[in-house]
Amino acid sequence: IGALGGALFTIGAAWLAAGLDTEPGYLAAFLPAQLLAGAGIGLLVPTLVAITVDELPPARLATGIAVYTVFRQVGIALGVAIWVASVGGAPGPDAPSYQAGWVLIAALGAATVAVMAVTSRISTASATADRTPIAQTEAHDEAAAQPIH
């Protein structure tokens, strides 16, 4: 789900990079891109939280979420700073001056998709290898509970 969210976000950012120009086009250019990017973030963020806290014991869950939140906030601050730097000393506030920033955001979104795809495969393989069927566990527990004669 996270990779799908990253892909939607990337498509939305690429749409903005390609579709914005000096003519206003809220319904044709801006709104669809923002809806795609918003849906992508809505799928991506919960998946990132789940990946972060997946292996934590219950006693460490609050600390794990706090650390994730700190890194998310630092990432947001760095992302805004990098985006502003990519826009640079653009001569004016017209839409084409923001194109480099949206291209950068789309590229980072694509990198997120790649990381989420790899993380998903690793997580799935790990979860499959670590799980013991419940019936086997129950049979083992019953056998262990029987007194030895």
| pTM of this prediction exceeds 0.75 | no
- pLDDT at residue 78 tops 90: yes
Once rounded to an integer, what is the mean pLDDT over residues 73-87? 88
Tokens of 5: 């969210």
Q: Which residues contact 36 (CB under 8 A, 6 or more apart)?
A: 8, 9, 11, 12, 15
- pLDDT at residue 125 tops 70: no
Tokens of 62: 């609050």
- Per-residue confidence band for 121, with pLDDT thresholds at 50, 70 and 90: low
More confident residue, 66 or 86: 66
More confident residue, 28 or 35: 35
- pLDDT at residue 141 tops 70: no
User: Do the beta carbons of residue 5 and residue 41 sit within 8 Å?
Assistant: yes
- pLDDT at residue 35 tops 80: yes
